[in-house]
Structure 1
Amino acid sequence: MAMKVAIVLLFIVSFTYGKSLSSDNFDYTSDDLIDYVNSLNTTWKAGKIFNDQLMNQGGSLMAPEDLIKSKSNLVNNQDVEIDFPEHFDAREVWPNCDSIATIRDQGGCAACWAVNTVSVMSDRLCIKSNGTINVQLSAEEVISCCEDCNLGCGKGGYVTKSFSYWIKHGIVTGGSYHGDGCYPYEIKPCYKSKTGKIACEKTTQTPECRNECASGYNKNFTQDKYFGEKFDNLWGMKSIMLDIMTNGPVVAQIKQYRDLRSYQSGIYQHETGEMLGYHSVKLIGWGNDQGVDYWLVANSWGTYWGEKGFFKIKRGHNEADVEHNVFTGLPKL
């Protein structure tokens, strides 16, 4: 009897959505995509989020030679014997480090690779200094001044090269749009439109590099620099968990599928739509909800998206490649 009911339900869903069971034809926020995901009664809920594309597709790049270089920094702790806690949240462990709980907004620029990487650098600088250096480093400097890192707001850039820039050149302070610090973010954040959906002013124009601090800032550009001393490529779930628990949040490059844009709550797993490119996010912890293991993630699409800018994604099965290309570094004090 149960088998017959299941077959009937599958037929109804198939008839209702047609090709949508493998649906590459949904818009980001179409009612069909939302209804389809929610009809599956899966681990997450979809909702009408964006008016259109947030930015150019993808944004987090990995050149073959860059990948080879990162593999030489590979850290594999898969054989480590540690009794990991069921729940870990970096915001709770290091509550005095403001950057960990801060959701940045990359706006209409394909800058996830810089925004989330620099956010991780800021977190780790605070953690390693025992909270004495509580600043937000400038994603704007990396986007504008790291020529090796960046292909522009329309095409994206490289996470590992951002770490290399941090080590070689250092990065000044400067957090959110028109915020505090030497070199604040200049790209307008997304906003909630009158319809209740998120709207963004897309840009392909990368801000020009400048080697001076904002007017009125109390340090010069050289004095305000903070440097890194190494970066690592973490391999496997245990390696990632151990590094987060020891040193703080890490950067993960995930496959950005069409349905992620409509994520509203729950534990994300890819259900429908084609891959749009890679997207960099910040892993800040992990947990388990009703038997489903997840990573706790900070995104860079502002606080209107997801769970006030955060989301969860399935852990332990390399969902959307979340455990495949994970990078981190340590600050130089």
Structure 2
Amino acid sequence: MLSVALVVLALMGCAHSHNDPDPMFTDYDALSEEFIDHINSLDTSWKAGQNFPGKKEEDVRHLCGTLDPEPGDSLEADFDDDPPKIDYDTLPASFDARTKWPKCNSSISLIGDQDNCGNCWAFGSSYAISDRYCINKMGLLQLSVQYITSCCSRAYRYNGCSGARIATAYSCWQKYGVPTGGQFGSNYGCQPYTIKDCPLKSESNGVTFPWCTGKSSKPSTSYTPPCSECCDVGYSKKLNDDRHFAAKVYQLRRNNAPSIQAEIYARGPVTLTFSVYQDYLSYKSGVYKYKTGKYVGRHAVKIIGWGVENNMPYWLGTNCWGQHWGNNGFFKFLRGSNHCGIESYGYAGIPKS
């Protein structure tokens, strides 16, 4: 079965997985300074640091909301029948989409923030898709993560903030179309993002959000804002006039890093998924390779390039946990060995003109 196979591949790529004998698992919270210090005491190719001050692991586990594909489900797209015609041996040792398409830098460099919603599947997809409009000279635009989270997930019987597959976003883009929408508070587009992190009680000033439980900063991970088929008041278009569609969507070749590189080099950023373990939550710099911690969940990200650092090949990606996470929202991840399943399941697409 496909989903089982992907999980097995992910575990093979992250040695020890759920049964790592490291006693730090039970002694300390994964976001504690003690656990971070423990990571940095190991022989690693990367450095850990505090990304979620004032929070515990239970407050952020739901951010990894990507679900594995279901075997035989027609929602999953086929592999690309017309991949880029590139000799893999000619691919550069390093590549950054921001350098190749400098006019699209503001789109490619954009860092999202899920806040209190497990919709990495929507962010990782929407941001990669949006880049391709600019790369294809269709202008700078940002597709609505809000609409994908609330409406696309409902169309495929998912609860967006509780998780979905990246195929949900890509299929919805192709079949129904997705309107524009910017980040929280941006007022950009038809449906900007509306989900905000739950404030601590001492910082709330009496303001409440429906997705917050009211108990400190602990989120309600099951709440997904209702789907709206209208644009925000004041936007110049009706939603149906603002829909953007895909000419085609497709899965990326599995366990084939060079083919993924060729796709990025020729067409732009892609969406990849991988298994997250406790140590990744505190990544700050360097090339991430799993070292310690239990399984947290499956995550989706945008990959914009690759390179080599200290003889370690890596993927260059943008996360969707805000600019305070990692290296200002960016990260490097071991490339070429399907580490934590990162090369086992991915998507891309071409916008319809």
For the aligned pair, the TM-score class normalised by the smaller chain equals 0.7 to 0.9
1-side partners of 2:200 and 2:329: how far apart? 13
2-side partners of 1:84 and 1:190: how far apart? 44
2-side partners of 1:32 and 1:267: how far apart? 22
1-side partners of 2:298 and 2:114: how far apart? 15
Distance 1:267 1:302, change over 3 A: same
Give matches, 1:33-112, under 5 Å: 33-50=35-52, 51-52=55-56, 53-56=59-62, 58-65=64-71, 70=76, 72-73=78-79, 80-97=87-104, 98-112=106-120
Give the conservation status (yes or no) of the 8 Å contact 1:44–1:266: yes
Matched, 1:114 2:119: no
Distance 1:162 1:150, change over 3 A: farther
For 1:54, what is the secondary structure of its paired residue? Answer: helix
Give matches, 1:1-333, under 5 Å: 21=22, 23-25=24-26, 26-50=28-52, 51-52=55-56, 53-56=59-62, 58-65=64-71, 70=76, 72-73=78-79, 80-97=87-104, 98-128=106-136, 130=137, 132-146=138-152, 147-149=154-156, 151-179=158-186, 180-189=188-197, 201=219, 203-235=221-253, 236-333=256-353
Distance 1:291 1:329, change over 3 A: same
Mean Cα deviation higher: 298-307 or 157-166: 157-166
Q: What do you get for the CA RMSD once the two structures are aligned?
A: 2.6
Give the conservation status (yes or no) of the 8 Å contact 1:55–1:202: no
For 2:301, what is the secondary structure of its paired residue? Answer: strand
Give the conservation status (yes or no) of the 8 Å contact 1:296–1:311: yes
Give the conservation status (yes or no) of the 8 Å contact 1:191–1:200: no
Mean Cα deviation higher: 118-127 or 57-66: 57-66
Number of residue equivalences: 309
Mean Cα deviation higher: 110-119 or 19-28: 19-28
Distance 1:153 1:233, change over 3 A: closer
**Which stretches of structure 1, 4 residues or longer, exceed 6 Å deviation after superposition?**
75-79, 190-194
Deviation at residue 230 of structure 1 after TM alignment: 1.4
Q: Deviations over 1:287-317 (max 9, x none)?
A: 1112111100100000000000010001111
Distance 1:74 1:272, change over 3 A: farther
For 1:284, what is the secondary structure of its paired residue? Answer: strand
Distance 1:57 1:121, change over 3 A: closer
Question: Match of 1:273, as an amino acid?
Answer: G
TM-score scaled to structure 1, two decimals? 0.85
Give the conservation status (yes or no) of the 8 Å contact 1:54–1:202: no
For 1:123, what is the secondary structure of its paired residue? Answer: helix
Give the conservation status (yes or no) of the 8 Å contact 1:296–1:312: yes
Give the conservation status (yes or no) of the 8 Å contact 1:107–1:200: no
- Percent identity between matched residues is 36
2-side partners of 1:226 and 1:203: how far apart? 29
TM-score scaled to structure 2, two decimals? 0.80
Question: Match of 1:309, as an amino acid?
Answer: G
Give the conservation status (yes or no) of the 8 Å contact 1:190–1:302: no
2-side partners of 1:168 and 1:332: how far apart? 12
For 2:22, what is the secondary structure of its paired residue? Answer: helix
Give the conservation status (yes or no) of the 8 Å contact 2:271–2:303: yes
Question: Match of 1:158, as an amino acid?
Answer: R
For 2:131, what is the secondary structure of its paired residue? Answer: helix
Q: Which residue does the alignment assign to 1:16?
A: none
Structure with the higher strand share, 1 or 2:
1
